[in-house]
Structure 1
Amino acid sequence: MPTPPHRYRSDDEDSGRWTGFPFRAGDIVISTRSKSGTTWMQMICALLVLGTPELPAPLNHLSPWLDWLAEPRDVVCRRLAAQPHRRFIKTHTPLDGVPLDPRVHYVVVARHPLDMAVSLYHQVGNLDRARLAELTGQGAPVGPAGERRPVEQWLASWIDRETDPRAELDSLPGVLLHLSDAWARRHEPNVELVHYDDLLADLGGEMRRLAGRWGLEVPAERWPELVEAATFGRMRERADQLAPDTLGVLRDRRAFFRQGRSGQGRHLLDESGLARYHKRTAALAPPDLLTWLHR
């Protein structure tokens, strides 16, 4: 018998909400770590599936986060059941925590972990914690928020921190657990790995490659406007429609699309910090994955 999916739970997520989900043939599951290109891939899927930059609804209504406890599961499932087009569903759960259906496509976006971590640092500062606690039924934050450490200090501690990767998926061990699992499945016909830097370098080429893998036909004359709509600048201009915030958990929707580039994490570390990072990652992930990830 196949191994049942691992259940990942946190204060605002529960991968158990995937249990019994009624997949359709052709569904696309977008599995990413936080701040690794989730919204970017959701937008790419929307453009390829719908064939137009004019979306009929906010992006996170078209592509809901099924694991998120802020919305009742039955509400999310009803919304997905009503969609007549191919569906594309968001999760931050590794593939070993999601039911794997041979009729379904799974796409995992990988970003250099240091860049992902810096974006996560800034994202945490943009969250309305009181609103998030209200939505998920957690206790409201107590006392003042306190002063945050400078990003350089926080990043160094993030690299060194020892933690259970299955309990803290946004830790460095958690990031590499997620990517190592996907890397081991990369030759499966319905699993696709995408590197964040490849999207930066050749967005049109990557979109065409994914359309081919998923059997999505796009008229030649539509490609220029679809690729343009998926650029970071155009998405930032449409933050009110594209940021994952219909329930009001972000303080600033435009700040969600902060920079969208690579290299920022590496520039914050000195030589010894980079050496510690590479030593740590070498103990957490296979060398061929790290070569691909760090290129």
Structure 2
Amino acid sequence: MQGCSFDNVVLSAILMTSSHSTSNSDTMARLDITESFYQTDFPGHLHTQESLRFAQEFEFQDSDTIIVTYPKSGTTWMQQILTLVSSRGDPTPAKSIPNWVRAPWLEQYYFRDILRASQGPRLITTHLPYEVLASALHGSKAKVIYVARNPKDVAVSYYHFHKMAKFLPDPNTFEEFLDNFMEGTVHYGSWFDHVKGWTNHRNDLNFFYITYEEMLHNLRASLEKLCGFLQCPLLPEELTNIQRHCTFNSMKENNMVNYTLIPSEIMDHSKSQFMRKGKTGDWKELFSSKQSNHFDDIFEEEMLDSELEFIWE
């Protein structure tokens, strides 16, 4: 991201990752595997003990920009935004290179190959909890961008994602899934622990915090704040181009973003689309009043010492 330059990725890496799910029989065989690391479960489809240890021991560079999220919190949106900021609003990279190549997941097994193939400042994505990366980030000036989303919408979005992602466990009923989500026993662990873990250490990092709802409410202002953090001032027309190409409808139609490149054996879009609604308050479609009240009690208890605020509808 430094100097607003785009991470150039050689063609071999693009081809490798675009087909990584179909060409690797070992990976297909791992669809039902769960890897446990730091008492957190990860889908074995893209995670191994080796890849998770590699992430934990990764040598960050001060020029790195790291997108940190709990799943279904605006990860893909931020990947798209930062790609467009890097290219000063030119949509070519965002329309020609898969997002997992532009901003690869640190903890996934293919990351090392992408790293070898990339040039320039690195844009990295992770769902890992703070405790896993704390020692690797200690003393680093790498830019950490944390995107949070209200957990009721996260739970609903994550439930639908479980229905279409063959590498995640069957969610069963929403009631069962919600109980697991509140207990923190879903893949990637507790939403509460993840958000608190990172935000409680914001002063220890070169840290930028933003919410999904804030971006949804005023994307232009969010872009301006983000560019200020990145020290990457853009012209008004460049910001306008970024806005145009990172709307929900634009991303939903972009197969470099919407995961339709992934075969149905791994992500079944007939069950639920990856880009589903992109709105705030969708939780009200599934939550009963009883579930909502119970969730509120859990939230109040878990976030008692947190100053974070969320928009719920």
Shorter-chain TM range is 0.7 to 0.9
> How much has 1:113 moved relative to structure 2?
0.7
Q: Which residue of 2 aligns with 1:50?
A: 87
Root mean square deviation of aligned Cα: 2.9
| Alpha-carbon distance in 2 for matches of 1:259, 1:157 | 23
TM-score, normalised relative to structure 2: 0.74
> What is the number of equivalent residue pairs in this alignment?
263
* Residue in 1 that maps onto 2:53: 16
Is contact 1:64–1:89 with CA below 8 Å preserved after alignment?
yes
Distance 1:293 1:38, change over 3 A: same
Q: What is the Cα deviation at residue 192 of structure 1?
A: 1.2
Q: Report the equivalent of 1:183.
A: 199
> What secondary structure is seen at the aligned counterpart in 2 of 1:206?
helix
User: 1:189: Cα distance to partner?
Assistant: 5.7
Partner of 2:28: none
Partners in 1 of 2:285 and 2:257 — Cα distance? 29
Distance 2:214 2:40 in 1: 29
The share of aligned pairs that are identical, in percent, is 23
Residue 33 of structure 1 aligns with which residue? 70
The SS at the match of 1:272 is helix
Q: Give the unaligned 5+ runs of structure 1.
A: 133-140
Q: What are structure 2's unaligned runs of at least 5 residues?
A: 1-36
Match 1:83 to one of 119, 134, 146? 119
Structure 1 counterpart of 2:267: 250
The residue number in structure 2 matching 1:138 is none
Is contact 1:111-1:195 (8 Å) kept? yes
Q: Give 1:6 shift.
A: 5.8
Give the secondary-structure state (helix, strand or coil) at the position aligned to 2:302: coil
Distance 1:244 1:15, change over 3 A: farther
Shift of 1:280: 1.2
Report the Cα distance in structure 2 between the residues aligned to 1:93 and 1:291, rounded to whole angstroms. Answer: 22
Which residue of the partner structure matches residue 219 of structure 1? 235
Aligned to 1:241: 256
**What's the offset of the Cα at 1:60?**
1.1
Q: CA deviation at 1:74?
A: 3.0
User: Deviations for 1:85-140, whole angstroms, at most 9, x for unmatched residues?
Assistant: x32111111222222143201111111111011111111111234xx8xxxxxxxx
- Determine which of 106, 123, 133 is the counterpart of 1:66: 106
**Which residue does 1:95 correspond to in 2?**
130
2:166 corresponds to 1:121: no
Describe the SS at the equivalent of 2:215: helix
Alpha-carbon deviation of 1:202?
0.7
Kindly state the Cα deviation for residue 284 of structure 1 after the two structures are TM-superposed.
Answer: 1.7
Question: Distance between the aligned counterparts of 1:93 and 1:116, measured in 2?
Answer: 16
- How far off is 1:244 after superposition? 4.8
